[in-house]
Structure 1
Amino acid sequence: MTDATPALSAPIACVERLLAALTVGDLGTAVSVFAGEARVVRVRYAEGRVAGGETLAVGRAEIERWLAEIIARDVSVRMTEYHLEGESLVVRTAWAMRGFDGERVQSSSLGVYDIVDGRIALLRATSREEEGAGRPVARV
């Protein structure tokens, strides 16, 4: 990662709070970094190009349910790189979580965060697998 410029410091701190809260299972803190009417969108790819998206949650109540499902899978997540693109903070993360069959799944994801007044207003995310360059599942 590169050193954060002043323009990046506050958005990075916001995303770091989210990731740390997810890792320790602190749902309240994780939800608190989102704006009241924030949206979470999963970006879809086809043949290496963006091919639409699916809205996963709108507003804190829906975001809380979405985050609770993630936390319930014993997630561990850390930021590996970031950069500013226009008004958005683009963040690559590495994560591990319990899969649906109890195995430990490891991957990375890309999140594009629009942060307004210190809170996430829009999160567009995709996993490495959805980008078409996934890693194999690791069993623990």
Structure 2
Amino acid sequence: MRAVVQRVDGASVVVEGENGPETVGEINGEGLCVLVGVTHDDTEEKAAQLARKLWSVRMLADEKSCSDIDAPLLVISQFTLYGDARKGRRPTWNAAAPGDVAEPLVDEVVARLRALGATVATGRFGAQMRVSLTNDGPFTVLIEN
């Protein structure tokens, strides 16, 4: 699994609904916005490891973690984290797991975070999403396991 983790001062995800734009996930104030990519050999154990890391990583102000101050997380699936643009002009997505593999593992990350006590908002898997955030720092870290 691969996650791009950004310290934010608020973030939201909007999708196009039947009646226009619809906010499906939002956090207010200090927290983390997490883009999660899944590859073919990822497992529930890797999802659990990622959740523990996200809950405890010290990226917030004064080297605090979400668990230290009960800061929320916005978790968004993003298969493009496994894009490969080394050759040619078009990225390939061969390393990204298909949706039927990736969706339950992203859901597992969210479930494990919530089991740890986290407040978690999410995007909508497979949807065209517009993500808005205020990057605080900026402070962005890549986590892989």
TM-score, structure 2 normalization: 0.28
Whose strand fraction is larger, Structure 1's or Structure 2's? 1
Name which structure has the greater RCO, CA cutoff 8 Å, separation 6+: 2
TM-score, structure 1 normalization: 0.28
